[in-house]
Amino acid sequence: MPGANSTAVTFHIVKKWDDPKKPLEAVNISQSEFMRIACGFQESNANPEKKNLFAEYDVSSCGYFNDTILNHILYSGGMRCNPVDDLWRLRYAEWPFYLAPPRGKQQANSLDPQGPGPGWARKPLMPSEGQLEILKAYGPITEPMIDVIWGSAAFKLLKDMQDITWVAEYRGS
């Protein structure tokens, strides 16, 4: 899943052919499209039955959330999924894009959930060899900057990313 295309993570609809000699085909989609397709809200051949794939693969706290008011503070709803937002951390040691600090402040914008902060990768711009070995459990990773994790393995990865023991092992590898 982590990739290029001017974003920290690239999302694809992957087409696998019955003929093993034919390579996978991948069409880029946005994170929002991925979320809508995975929740079953958007028509797609990737999820023709419009299932909530997050629920099916037991990836918690992912989906559509209504606006909520607590203690007179509005919390906007919408599509959310923490492990999807954290995918960049698998590849990078820190957020790979510069975010200017808010005007009048000397520190980085800490309110951006994907802003500067620690990634989980041991190297600045890619996972370490040990981390690549962990990722190989989710599919063949021969070209770490190109290969994709797709299908049920992608949802297993998202579920595993919610386990603090898995994250600690990944960060330490």
Give me the percent of the chain exceeding a pLDDT of 90: 48
pTM for the whole structure = 0.80
CA atoms of 151 and 79, how far apart (whole Å): 20
Judged against a pLDDT cut of 50, whether residue 15 lies above it is answered with yes
Identify whether 148 is part of a domain.
Answer: yes
Q: What is the pLDDT of residue 101?
A: 52
- Contact indicator for 137, 152 with CB cutoff of 8 Å: no
Question: In degrees to the nearest 10, what's the CA dihedral of 9, 136, 166, 41?
Answer: 50
Q: Which residue has the tokens 């005007």?
A: 103
Q: What are phi and psi of 90, to 5 degrees?
A: -65, -30
Give the tens place of pLDDT for each residue, 124-169: 889 999 999 999 999 888 776 777 898 999 999 999 999 999 999 9
Identify whether 29 is part of a domain.
Answer: yes
Identify whether 3 is part of a domain.
Answer: no
CA atoms of 105 and 101, how far apart (whole Å): 6
Total domains in the chain come to 1
Range of the structural domain that residue 144 is part of: 11-168
Identify whether 1 is part of a domain.
Answer: no
The rounded mean pLDDT for the chain is 83
Q: For residue 5, what pLDDT band results from cuts at 50, 70 and 90?
A: low
Tokens at residue 92, please? 């990078």
Judged against a pLDDT cut of 60, whether residue 114 lies above it is answered with no
Identify whether 37 is part of a domain.
Answer: yes
Q: What is the pLDDT of residue 110?
A: 46
Identify whether 117 is part of a domain.
Answer: yes
Identify whether 4 is part of a domain.
Answer: no
